[in-house]
Structure 1
Amino acid sequence: MVLSAHAKRHVQRQASELLAKHFPTLDPLRRNVLNELVSHTAEGWHLLLRADLPRSADRADAFLVGRTGVFAVVVADQPPEQVQPVLRHAEERFASIRGSQGRLVAPTAITLVVVGGVKRSPRNSGAFWALPVADLDQLFRRGDTRLPRRQADDLARAANDRLPDYSFFVVQPPEREPEPEGLLAAQDVTEGQLAAALERPFESWMTFLHPQQHAVVKRDYGGPARISGPAGTGKTVVALHRMRHVGRRNVGPLLFTTFVRTLPAVHESAFRQLAPELAERAEFQNLHSWARTLLVHREVELNVNPAAIDNAFARAWLRHRGALQEIEPAYDYWHTEVDRVIKGRGLRTLAEYKQILRRGRRLALGDAQRERVWSFYESYRDNLVARGAHDYHDMLIAAHAELVRQPLESPYAMVVVDEVQDVTLTGLRLLREIAGDGQNRLLLVGDGQQQVYPGGWRLSDAGIPVQGRGEVLKVNYRNRSGILDFARRIDAGNSVDDLDGAAGVVLRDAEVVNAGGRAETWTGRRTDLAAALVDTLRPLPHGHTALITFTKHDADECRRLLESAGVPTQSLEHHTGEPDDRVKVGTVHRAKGLDFRAVLAVQFPALDSANSDAARREAAELRDRQRLVAATRARDFLWWGVVEGAA
C-alpha cells in the first residue's frame, strides 16, 4: 500500500500520540525511530514493541514483520555490550513457527538491526546490521520482497503468540486503500492463470526452510562437509543460510565460489538481501577470478591467453591427428581428455596417467593408447611454453603452490563451493588449501546428475574427506509438478553417486511439494522459430524468463531473432540477478545454478563428430544431463522447442 502525503502526515501524528501515551519517557532517538516504524503499520507492516521500554535488556526493542522479512530492532547510539543474547532470543522466539508445506522459520531469516549512530568496520561486522537513522527506509525496500502478504500476516500473528512481553502497535490510514493480492495457491495455477501466477514473488526461501534444510544450516561439522541432492532441493539456499549462520558467530571473511564465471554475482545479490550485515565480509568470485587476484597480489606473472591456448591445441592436433583418429576421430574428444583428465587432474607424468581411473569417460584406453594421448598433451604443453603462455589449469596450480608457500594472512571463516561437480581436481585441491583445516570451514555443494562438463572424480581424489559429514536433500521446492514431470522423462542417468562414491538421489526420486505448472513442447523448422518464440513470450514476465540453448552459437542466433522482433534481451553472461524487463538468453553452462519463473529451452540439431560407440554414448549422456539442467531452471512454466533440419 502506498500512502499519499496527506495520509502519511495523518499516520505519523497517530503514531506519535500512541507512543507518547504508552511510553512517555522515551529518549529522542528511540521516539523518532519507533515513530517511523509505527507509521509503517498503516502500509501493512506488523510491529511488536517491548512492554518495558525504554529499559535496556538482552532483547530487541521491537520486532518488525512484513513482506521484506523479519527484523529484530535495537535502537541505540552504540550496540549492546552483548549482541549474541539479543540475537539468540530473537531466533528462539521464531524457531517453532511453521509455514506452508511443513517448513520452519529459519533462525538465519531473522535480521538483527541496530538503528542509530552506530559505526563499525565492515570487515568485522557480523551479528547485526548497523543502520543509521537516515537510512531507516532500507527496511521497507519494495524491491526486496520475500513473502506474499498472507504469509507475512500469518507469521506476525504466530510471533505475537510467542512474544508475551511484546504488543502490537498499529495505526490506520485515513481511508482504507485496496491491498494487493497475495500469491495464488499452487492448486489454483491453471492455464488461464499462468501469466498472473508468474508475476508473483517467489523468495520465501529467505524466511522458511524445510526441517531437514533447517537442521543442516545449524549443524556443526568437524571438517569439510558436503551437501548433495537433485535439482531444486535448495542446496544453494542452505549454503547461503549457513554462510549467515557461521558469519554471525565468527570473525574473518567469507568466500562463495564456483566454477561458473557468472553465477557468483547472482548469489551475491541474493545474499546481500538475506544478510545485509555480512555483505561487506562476504566475497563472491568464481574460482579462476579468485586465483588470478591472488597471483596478481603475490606478483606472480602468468600469461593466460585464450587465443594462445586454442592455437597450442590446434598445432598439437595437426601433429598427432593421425595417431589419435585411429582410436576416435573426434577432435573434441581428445581436447577434453587433455583439458579435463590430464590437466584437470594435475597429472605430471605418463606413469600417473596410465594408473588413473578415468571417471566419466566411456572409451577405454590401454597403455599404448594412453602413450599416444600423452604425446598429444606434451605437444600442447610445449606449444604454450614456446609462446610464453599458460592455460587456466596453470593458474589454479600456481595459486595452489603460492598458498602452500605462504598461507593467507586473513583465513576465511568459511568457504562455500557451489556446483562443485563441475570443478576440476586441480580446483578442488586449491579450494582445500584456501579453506584450511577447522570446524565448518569448507562446504561443498553439488549434484552429479547436473554435471554439464565431461569427466568426473570423487572428493577423496582431492584429499577432501567428508565421511560422516555428508547431507543429501530430497525435497524439491523449486519446480512445480508439471515441470518435474517433464524433466523426469529426460534419461540423465538412473543412478548417481553423492560426489564421493556412495549412492545419491536422482531427480525422479525427489519429493514434490509444488502442484501445478505447465510444460509445452514445440517442433518446427528454423524459419518458424522466431514466430514461435515471440508468441510464447507474449504473456510471460520477460524479466523473470530465460531462453536457454546448448551452444553459444545457438544462443547468439536466438538472441538475434528476439532482438529483431523487438524483444529486449540480456546475455546470461552479464546477468547479476538485478531486476529488469529483459529476457535472459544464454547457454545451459551459463544458466547453471540459476532459476527463473519461465524458461524457453531451444534444442537445435546436434553436431556429433564422434564415431566410436563409447564416445557417442558419452556425448549422449552429457547432452541428457545438460537437458535436465535446462529443464529444471523453470519454476512455473517450461517451453521446450526442437528445431528440425540443418542450418
Structure 2
Amino acid sequence: MTIAGESAGVEARRQRSHAQELRRQANDAEQRAARFEIAERTESETAQLLAPLAGIGYHLLADRRWPGSRTAQVDMVVVGRAGIFIVDTKAWREVAVHGDRITRGQEDVTDDIARLADLAYSTEAALADIGLAPGEVHAVAALAGQKRMHARVASVDVIGTHDLVGHITKRGARLSASRVDEVLAAMLTHFPVIGDDAASAPQVVVPAAVLPRESAPTPAPTIAALDDELTDQLLDGVLESPIEDWMAFLDPAQAKLVRRSFNGPARIRGAAGTGKTVVGLHRAAYLARSTGGRVLFTTYIKTLPRVLESLLERLAPDMVGRVDFVGVHAFATRLLKGRGIAFRAPGLEARLAFDDAWNAIRASSPLRSSRFSRPYWEDEIKHVIKGRGLTRFEQYADLARVGRKHALPLETRQAVWDLYEAYSRGLRERRAHDWEDIVLLARDAVAAVPLERYDAVIVDEAQDLSCAMVSLMHHLVGDRADGLTLIGDGQQTIYPGGYTLGEVGISLSGRGVVLDVNHRNTAEILEFAKEMVADDQFVDIEGVDGVGDTVSAISRSGPAPAFHRFSSRAEHDRVMLARLSEVLRLIGTGHGDVGILTATNRQADDVRAVLRAAGVPVVMLDEYSGRTTDAVRLGTVKRAKGLEFKQVLLAHVDRGMVDAAPAESSESDRERRERGRRKLYVGMTRARDGLWVGVRDGVSRSR
C-alpha cells in the first residue's frame, strides 16, 4: 500500500541529491577555473620575465604541445646561445626538498618534476639526430614569484621565476648562431603549436618572444627600464666567451653514442681524430647526470686528467665534482693510503734494485745478446710480467706476450724470469716498490674489499694501460650496465707489451663501437701521418690482429704538411722559429693554439731554451692544466696524447724514424723504431690545421 506523499518525497530527495551533485561539480569547475587563471597569470608573468632575452638573440616558444600528447602543453621553450631550456611554471608555495623528493606543503610533487625530467631526456634523444650533446638540454621548474632559490631534483633545476634570466645567461655562449638555427628548427617540430592544424601552419622563425595569449599591450622593456640585476645578467649573456662547438655539438653518431646504454663493459675505438676523448667526456657528464652518482675518468698519462677536468668545467659545469679525473697511478696510491695499506713511493731504491739484478747476470746469459738491450728486458718485466701480475714461471712460459714482436725460446724466458725474481728480491730487501707493485696492491685491495664509490668508470687511451690496471678498473664496477667504458685505438699504442681483454676476464659481447669520421685533421695531415704506420701490425686489446681502423670521411682540407731535413741544430732552430712566426700571423691563431712536440724530455728542454731566448711565451705540457693562456704548448708526444692544437711543430725528429729501416737491425731496434713511428703518428694527428716536421741527424734518444 502506497503511503500518501511518498513518491513526492522520493522525487524531492532525488532533486536535492542532483542539486548537491551540481553544486559539487560547479565548485570543482570553479576551482579548476581558478587554477587555470593562476596558471595563465603565472605563465604570462614568466613569459614577460623572459622577454628581455629576445633582445640578445634568444627564441621564446610559448604554449607548445607536449610531444606525444594532444592536450598537455609546455609553458616555454627557450632556445639560444646557452642551449635549450624547457621551462614549466609552478604556482607552488611552501616548497621543500628532502633528498631526492620535493613537496608543496604536505603533498609530494616529485612525480611532476620527474615528468619534466623525462621530457628533457626525450628531447635530448630527438636532438641527437642533429648532433647536440645531451648536456645542452635543461629542464627548469620555475616557481612563480620566487627569487634567490635553487634546488635540483631528478636532474631538474627548481628555481624562482625572477632567477630565470640569470640561470640561462650564466652558461655563456655555447652554440654558434648557425647551430642555434639548427636547434630551433628541430624544436619547432618537436614541440608543435597547440591546435589541430597547427602542425601544418607556416611558422616564421624570428628572434623574438612568442606570446600567443591575448593581453593588454605593454611596451617592450628597455635596458634602462630593467633593474640593475637583470641588466647585468643580460649583459653577461651578450659579452660572450669564445665558442667551442665541440662542447655542445657532436656528429649524430657521436651524440647517440654518448647516451647509448650497454648491458656490460663496452669499448669505443676509432682512428686518431675521430673524437673518442670528446665522446668520453660527454659520456662521463651524461652518466653522472643520469645516474645521480659518481664517475671515474682515468688514463695512463698523468697530466691529462687535469686538462680534461678543466674542459669539463666548460663543457658541463653542473657536473663538476661528480666526475673524478685521476691518473691510474695516482688513483692506486690514493686508494692504498685510504685503506691504510703500507707502501713506499717508487724512487731511487727501485732503480738500484734493478741495477743489482742486471749486473749479476753472467756474460753467457741469452739476455746479454747483442740483439737485445737492457731497456728491452726492463720493459719485458715491467709490462709483460708485472703488468699482468704473473707469480709463477709456468704462467710466463706459455704466455703469448701480446704486443712484443719477437718470440722467446724457453731458455731465454727462464733467464728473464730469473732476472725478475732477482729484481723482486732486491725490492723486498730494500722495502721498496715500483709502480707495477702499487697497481697490483690496489687491484688486490679492491678485489678483497670492493670500493663502493663509482657508478661508472671511463678509461681513455685504454690501449696504454697494463693488464693489471684494467683489472683494477674492472673491479670497481664489475660487469654492471654502463659500468666500464674503454676508449682507445690500438694504432696509437706507444708503450711496449700489451694485453687482451680476455686476459682480464672482460667480455664485450658485441658492445664495441667504432667511430670512423675524422673531424680534427685535414685530409692532407691525416694522409701524411698514415705513412708512419702504413706497415704497422699489432694485436688489438680485443685479441685480433689489426692494421688500424679506417676513416670513412674527413670533413676538412688544408695545406700540405711541411717536411724539412737539417744537418745542424742551429739551422733547425732557426727554421722552427720562422715557422712559428708564420703561423702566428694566421687569423685566429695565437700562441696558445700552437703545440711544439718532441720525442724526449731533453729535446723539449732544448726547445724551451730556444723559445725563451727568442722571447716566445711557453708553457710545458707537464704543467698545462687546460686553461686558456697565450703561450705555446711544449712537451713530449706522450704528454700530448688526448690533446689537439691548431698548429703542430714536431721538433728534432730522429731521421731513423722517417728513413727506410736498415736491412739488418736487432730485435730491440726494430721494436723501438716501430714504437717511434707510432709516436710520430700520434704527434702528427694532434694537428688540426697545420703540421711542420723538422728532421735532424744524430738527435738524442734518451729520457
Q: TM-score range by the shorter chain?
A: 0.7 to 0.9
Deviation (angstroms), 1:74:
5.4
Structure 2 unaligned blocks of 5 or more: 1-37, 97-101, 103-108, 195-204, 210-219, 225-240
Q: CA contact under 8 A between 2:82 and 2:174: conserved in structure 1?
A: yes
* Structure 2 CA distance for partners of 1:494 and 1:363, relative to 1, 3 Å: closer
Is 1:630 matched with 2:683? yes
Aligned to 1:159: 187
Distance of 2:371 and 2:251 partners within structure 1? 48
Aligned to 1:90: 120
Is 1:526 matched with 2:569? yes
1:493-508 equivalent positions in 2, closer than 5 A: 493-494=535-536, 496=538, 498-502=540-544, 506=548
AA aligned to 1:299 is: G
Is 1:393 matched with 2:423? no
Deviation (angstroms), 1:341:
1.0
Q: Secondary structure, in 3 states, of the residue corresponding to 1:465? A: coil
Identify the match of residue 169 of structure 1 among 208, 224, 229: 208
Identify the match of residue 560 of structure 1 among 609, 613, 634: 609
Deviation (angstroms), 1:118:
4.9
TM-score (norm 1): 0.82
Deviation (angstroms), 1:508:
5.0
* Structure 2 CA distance for partners of 1:380 and 1:517, relative to 1, 3 Å: same
Distance of 2:482 and 2:410 partners within structure 1? 42
Aligned to 2:273: 232
Deviation (angstroms), 1:280:
2.0
Is 1:402 matched with 2:456? no
AA aligned to 1:252 is: G
Q: Secondary structure, in 3 states, of the residue corresponding to 1:471? A: strand
AA aligned to 2:689 is: D
Aligned to 1:81: 110
Q: Alpha-carbon deviations, 1:128-177, whole Å to 9, x = none?
A: 457787796574458x64433222233234423433359963579899xx
Distance of 2:294 and 2:269 partners within structure 1? 25
Aligned to 1:14: none
AA aligned to 2:692 is: W
Q: Secondary structure, in 3 states, of the residue corresponding to 1:320? A: coil
* Structure 2 CA distance for partners of 1:147 and 1:596, relative to 1, 3 Å: farther
Distance of 2:163 and 2:64 partners within structure 1? 26
Bigger Cα displacement from structure 2, 213-222 vs 366-375: 213-222
Is 1:109 matched with 2:152? no
1:46-85 equivalent positions in 2, closer than 5 A: 46-50=59-63, 61-73=75-87, 81-82=110-111, 83-85=113-115
Aligned to 1:253: 294
Identify the match of residue 492 of structure 2 among 435, 450, 457: 450
AA aligned to 1:25 is: R
Q: Secondary structure, in 3 states, of the residue corresponding to 2:383? A: helix
Q: CA contact under 8 A between 1:362 and 1:615: conserved in structure 2?
A: no
Bigger Cα displacement from structure 2, 216-225 vs 468-477: 216-225
Identify the match of residue 574 of structure 1 among 609, 619, 623: 623
Aligned to 2:19: none
Deviation (angstroms), 1:385:
1.6
Distance of 2:269 and 2:148 partners within structure 1? 43
Is 1:377 matched with 2:393? no
AA aligned to 1:169 is: A
* Structure 2 CA distance for partners of 1:52 and 1:454, relative to 1, 3 Å: closer
Q: CA contact under 8 A between 1:130 and 1:277: conserved in structure 2?
A: no
Bigger Cα displacement from structure 2, 592-601 vs 245-254: 245-254
Distance of 2:510 and 2:536 partners within structure 1? 25
Distance of 1:641 and 1:173 partners within structure 2? 58
Aligned to 1:619: 672
Q: Alpha-carbon deviations, 1:92-150, whole Å to 9, x = none?
A: 4464458xxx85334443234567655559xxx772457787796574458x6443322
Distance of 1:314 and 1:421 partners within structure 2? 29
Aligned to 1:186: none
Distance of 1:601 and 1:66 partners within structure 2? 40
Q: CA contact under 8 A between 1:421 and 1:448: conserved in structure 2?
A: yes
Is 1:328 matched with 2:328? no
Aligned to 1:149: 177
Q: Secondary structure, in 3 states, of the residue corresponding to 2:324? A: strand
Q: CA contact under 8 A between 2:58 and 2:208: conserved in structure 1?
A: no
Is 1:39 matched with 2:52? yes
1:536-555 equivalent positions in 2, closer than 5 A: 536-538=579-581, 539=584, 540-555=589-604
Bigger Cα displacement from structure 2, 58-67 vs 247-256: 58-67
* Structure 2 CA distance for partners of 1:51 and 1:65, relative to 1, 3 Å: closer
Aligned to 1:191: none
* Structure 2 CA distance for partners of 1:231 and 1:158, relative to 1, 3 Å: same
Q: Secondary structure, in 3 states, of the residue corresponding to 1:228? A: strand
Q: CA contact under 8 A between 1:120 and 1:130: conserved in structure 2?
A: yes
Distance of 1:607 and 1:310 partners within structure 2? 29
Deviation (angstroms), 1:427:
0.4
Q: Secondary structure, in 3 states, of the residue corresponding to 2:532? A: coil
AA aligned to 2:459 is: V
Aligned to 1:213: 254
Distance of 1:240 and 1:393 partners within structure 2? 27
Q: Based on CA coordinates, which of the two structures has the bigger radius of gyration?
A: 2
Identify the match of residue 352 of structure 1 among 389, 395, 411: 395
* Structure 2 CA distance for partners of 1:264 and 1:347, relative to 1, 3 Å: same
Distance of 1:438 and 1:109 partners within structure 2? 27
Deviation (angstroms), 1:500:
0.6
Deviation (angstroms), 1:201:
6.2
Q: CA contact under 8 A between 1:96 and 1:104: conserved in structure 2?
A: no
Q: Alpha-carbon deviations, 1:387-432, whole Å to 9, x = none?
A: 211111111111112112211233x211111100000011011111
AA aligned to 1:311 is: L
Aligned to 1:190: none
Aligned to 1:180: none
Q: Secondary structure, in 3 states, of the residue corresponding to 1:364? A: coil
Q: CA contact under 8 A between 1:226 and 1:444: conserved in structure 2?
A: yes
Give the alignment's Cα RMSD to 1 decimal: 3.4
Q: Secondary structure, in 3 states, of the residue corresponding to 1:444? A: strand
Q: Alpha-carbon deviations, 1:317-355, whole Å to 9, x = none?
A: 222273322263422111111111111111112222111
* Structure 2 CA distance for partners of 1:23 and 1:429, relative to 1, 3 Å: closer
Q: CA contact under 8 A between 1:480 and 1:636: conserved in structure 2?
A: yes
* Structure 2 CA distance for partners of 1:534 and 1:70, relative to 1, 3 Å: farther
Identify the match of residue 25 of structure 1 among 41, 46, 63: 41
Distance of 1:460 and 1:131 partners within structure 2? 49
Q: Secondary structure, in 3 states, of the residue corresponding to 2:647? A: strand
Identify the match of residue 328 of structure 2 among 287, 312, 334: 287
Deviation (angstroms), 1:646:
5.3
Of structures 1 and 2, the one scoring higher in RCO (CA 8 A, sep 6+) is: 1
* Structure 2 CA distance for partners of 1:425 and 1:623, relative to 1, 3 Å: same
Deviation (angstroms), 1:308:
2.0
Distance of 2:517 and 2:537 partners within structure 1? 17
* Structure 2 CA distance for partners of 1:383 and 1:114, relative to 1, 3 Å: farther
Distance of 1:467 and 1:543 partners within structure 2? 43
Aligned to 1:436: 478
Distance of 1:111 and 1:382 partners within structure 2? 58
Distance of 1:562 and 1:473 partners within structure 2? 37
* Structure 2 CA distance for partners of 1:327 and 1:644, relative to 1, 3 Å: closer
* Structure 2 CA distance for partners of 1:203 and 1:321, relative to 1, 3 Å: farther
Deviation (angstroms), 1:50:
4.2
Q: Secondary structure, in 3 states, of the residue corresponding to 2:42? A: coil
Q: Secondary structure, in 3 states, of the residue corresponding to 1:385? A: helix
AA aligned to 2:635 is: G
* Structure 2 CA distance for partners of 1:128 and 1:317, relative to 1, 3 Å: farther
Distance of 1:385 and 1:207 partners within structure 2? 51
* Structure 2 CA distance for partners of 1:337 and 1:93, relative to 1, 3 Å: closer
Distance of 2:222 and 2:611 partners within structure 1? 46
AA aligned to 1:109 is: E
Structure 1 unaligned blocks of 5 or more: 1-21, 176-199
